[in-house]
Amino acid sequence: MICEVAPAKVNLTLEIVGKRNDGYHEIRSIMQTIDICDLLTFWDNDWIHIFPEYCNLPQSDDLLKYDSGNYMGDNLVYRAAKILKDETGYKGGALIQLKKNIPSASGLGGGSSDAAATLKGLNKLWRLGLSNKQLAKLGARLGSDISFFIFGGTCMVSGRGEKVTPLKPIPTKWLLILIIPMIMEEKTKKLYSQVDSYYYSSGEKTEMLKKKIKSWDQNKVTSASTDSAKFSISKNLFNTFEIVYNNGQKCFDRWKKYRELLDIDPLHLAGSGPAVYYLSDEKEELIDMVDNRLNNFCEIKKYITCTVP
């Protein structure tokens, strides 16, 4: 038996540089894993079979419509297992228990993280001996974020998401994640269809944050240091899709309405959304925010989480 944790992520930066010849968009992003996570457990078996369990998901989440009797052949976990089996010629299979806690289609990367955890877990279970680079290359054939989740932590991501450069871990930050109740069919495809040259940027914001992370020296910070000496990245956060949401069509009106009602600044979009996050150095600040400012927003799923390496 092998267990793998599949963490969620946020994009600290997400810039769209331009359109590629293959039809995808070229991005620059710094991505960070957080401790909201799914859990996958793997056992040897003659064929590939998935047993999903859904825990603590928003009531509106589409995953709640599924159970272990559904055919999971289109699930990214199954597809990741199948591509690994086919590419390596492995003759057996696996029973895969998927305990799902990350909300789907929220911008937190749950499906991609599950796929990456499947590649890593089965690589161990089947004793294939593939490197992370080899697994990331396989993952890139299934989805853009999967390569990042093979490495996790703090990474710079480029290309369409398949080029990953691990960075040193940032000091722990606390996040309040808010899942705004908004359902949009083919969300990512629809978002990118609205992106033209108006939304392109040079990647400079991502490079600036990358340099800040590389130059940070925690050893220079003592217990007597002032708050200004802390590793602060709030002013470096950026997501192109926030502009798309604010300038977009009527389908984004629900998101904009909640964004205004919440009256929390600055809130940043997690990936392609509709989840948003607020970044803090103090867990207590977020607890106070949930208890005293957000208690009337019962329809919004709230998570207090932190960054993980």
Which H/E stretch holds residue 187?
helix 187-193
pTM over 0.85: yes
pLDDT in tens, 161-179: 899 999 999 999 999 999 9
Rounded Cα–Cα distance for residues 173 and 76 (Å): 29
Domain boundary among 148, 166, 184: 166
Question: Taking the mean position of all CA atoms in its chain, how far away is CA 32?
Answer: 8
pLDDT in tens, 51-89: 888 777 776 666 655 554 555 667 899 999 999 999 999
How much of the chain exceeds pLDDT 70, in percent?
90
pLDDT in tens, 201-227: 999 999 999 999 998 866 555 444 444
Catalytic residues: 9, 145
Residue with tokens 């990953």: 164
Which pLDDT band, with edges at 50, 70 and 90, does 228 fall under?
A: very low
| Alpha-carbon dihedral 177, 284, 154, 116, rounded to 10 degrees | -50
Count Cβ atoms below 10 Å from residue 23 Cβ, excluding itself. Answer: 8
Q: How many domains does the chain have?
A: 2
227 belongs to a structural domain: no
153/180 same-domain check: no
Question: Taking the mean position of all CA atoms in its chain, how far away is CA 229?
Answer: 29
pLDDT in tens, 13-59: 999 999 888 878 899 999 999 999 999 999 999 999 998 887 777 76
90/184 same-domain check: no
Q: How far is CA 35 from CA 97, 108, 277, 308, in A?
A: 19, 11, 14, 6
Q: Are 280 and 174 in contact (CB under 8 A)?
A: yes
231 belongs to a structural domain: no
